[in-house]
Structure 1
Amino acid sequence: MALSLAIVTMKSIFDVDWEYVVAGACIAGPLCFALGKVASETDINPVRLLAIVLLFLFSLFGMNNPAALLATGIGGAALASIAVDLFIDLRTGYLIRANPRHQIIMQFLGVIPVSFVSIFFLHTLAVQFGFGEGKFFPAPGALVWATMAEAFSKGATAVSTNVWIATGIASCFGIILSLFENWKRTSQYAPSSFALGIALIVPIEMSFAIFLGALFRAVAIFLAQRQGEGVKHRAEEEAFHIGSAVFAASALAGIVAVLLISLGILHLPS
């Protein structure tokens, strides 16, 4: 049913043929397993990787409409996002012995109201502040996606030779690093190839923030380890709780700020 609805929607809005929609779903399915492994190692769901794969593949098969290309890529990314996030939720439920059936039911019940709420906030941000170059929210990620869609719409020949060379080198390096990760003699010292890939994708300020968080955690656990294994285990749990609190607080603060600015209570600096 969901696939049928996606086919109708993609055709009516973006003029995407059903073959591309079905192909995108078939490609996204197996790749969700790989993205699940990435999320299990880094707690980051790299959905843009799947979107890039779909953009590239469909451009090879003659899709030259940037909006249609972006729609198929984002469709696959949405599939990966839901699948991997559900995997994380179920994994968390498993750790606390929750009933997976109850979790899935709550997912279905929550997706409809949450969709309306998210659209409301997105519309509010667009109307009150604006997105794009020269606006309050420059949205660099959106500009990157728009540039990618326009580039891929011109076909693979529009991609420079240097990009292909860099892609080949990075792919070989990732394969070698993965082999070291799975070799017992080097697994303890080999860095995560997925974490390294994420660091190359996100902006440097985000990568540096992740590094600082990891450094603080490592120092705290190192100091706790000197006081015994029990203290070390408690420090590991408390570090997780502190990180979760930072995530939640920043998200809630952003929502409150948007509401206050939209109501005219809080004003942006000129």
Structure 2
Amino acid sequence: PIVGAITVYLAWRFFDVPPVMGAIAVPLVFVFTLIAANSTALTAITPTGALGKLTQLTFGVLAPGNIKTNLMTAGITGEVAGHASNLLMDIKPGYMLGGKPRHQAIGHVLGIVAGALAAVPVFYFAFLKNNINNLASDTYPMPAAQIWKAVAELLTEGISNLPVSAAWAALIAALLGILFEAIN
């Protein structure tokens, strides 16, 4: 509860995410962590991007037109679920080498904190110091970030801006996914 409250506060303070929306993102973390852990266990691939898109769709409905809330809540849920799943991938090899799961979890959290303290200032000075609008460029295209941005813009501006062919493709893909899961 304490870390969740801190997360909600930081999302509100730094990214203007309404506290109610931040509070809704916290329970989604638990749901998406279960999904990510299951997916990682079955495929050895952590679906961070896909879970972020699910959050974007959720907050596209809950907070329509709010691009910051859309992106930041997706970052919260996707990253936490991703880190939890990655920790699970580290537990078995660590155990085989004699490490205790508790020590590995503590090391993982320390690594997250240390990485954040180092990466955020470096990223700021390398990419954001002059102008955030120049973030993606030919030198640093950042394709994954462009996808998150495109989804956020689509959900903010309205689904009516989606090309008809893309809507049909999404519908067919969803139906095929349901069919394949039912067959499986």
CA, structure 1 residues 172+91, in 2 after alignment: closer, same or farther (shift >3 Å)? farther
- 1:160 deviates by 4.2
Give CA deviations for 1:245-267 in whole Å, capped at 9, x if unaligned.
Answer: xxxxxxxxxxxxxxxxxxxxxxx
Q: Distance in 1 between matches of 2:92 and 2:182?
A: 26
The aligned counterpart of 1:115 is 116
Tell me whether 156-165 or 22-31 shows the greater mean CA deviation.
Answer: 156-165
The aligned counterpart of 1:58 is 59
The aligned counterpart of 2:75 is 74
The aligned counterpart of 2:145 is 142
The aligned counterpart of 2:45 is 44
TM-score, L = length of structure 2: 0.81
Amino acid at match of 1:56: L
- 1:168 deviates by 2.8
Q: Does 1:177 align with 2:180?
A: yes
- 1:70 deviates by 0.8
- 1:45 deviates by 1.4
Give CA deviations for 1:221-266 in whole Å, capped at 9, x if unaligned.
Answer: xxxxxxxxxxxxxxxxxxxxxxxxxxxxxxxxxxxxxxxxxxxxxx
- 1:180 deviates by 4.7
Amino acid at match of 2:137: E
Q: Distance in 1 between matches of 2:72 and 2:78?
A: 10
Give CA deviations for 1:9-50 in whole Å, capped at 9, x if unaligned.
Answer: 111222212221122222231222222232223332121111
- 1:153 deviates by 0.8
The within-5 A match list for 1:124-135 is 125-126=126-127, 131-134=135-138
Give CA deviations for 1:169-195 in whole Å, capped at 9, x if unaligned.
Answer: 2223223333555xxxxxxxxxxxxxx
Question: Residues 11 and 17 of structure 1 are in contact (CA less than 8 Å); yes or no, is this contact kept in structure 2?
Answer: yes
Question: Residues 56 and 156 of structure 1 are in contact (CA less than 8 Å); yes or no, is this contact kept in structure 2?
Answer: no
- Size of the aligned set, in residue pairs, is 179
- 1:3 deviates by 0.9
Question: Residues 17 and 69 of structure 2 are in contact (CA less than 8 Å); yes or no, is this contact kept in structure 1?
Answer: yes
The aligned counterpart of 1:102 is 103
- 1:84 deviates by 0.9
Amino acid at match of 2:153: E
The aligned counterpart of 1:35 is 36
Question: Residues 37 and 85 of structure 2 are in contact (CA less than 8 Å); yes or no, is this contact kept in structure 1?
Answer: yes
The aligned counterpart of 1:217 is none
Q: Distance in 2 between matches of 1:31 and 1:17?
A: 21
Bigger relative CO (Cα 8 Å, ≥ 6 apart): 2
Rg larger for: 1
Question: Residues 36 and 82 of structure 2 are in contact (CA less than 8 Å); yes or no, is this contact kept in structure 1?
Answer: no
CA RMSD, 1 decimal: 2.6
Question: Residues 28 and 50 of structure 1 are in contact (CA less than 8 Å); yes or no, is this contact kept in structure 2?
Answer: no
- 1:138 deviates by 1.8
Q: Distance in 2 between matches of 1:18 and 1:166?
A: 35
Amino acid at match of 2:175: C
Q: Distance in 2 between matches of 1:163 and 1:127?
A: 32
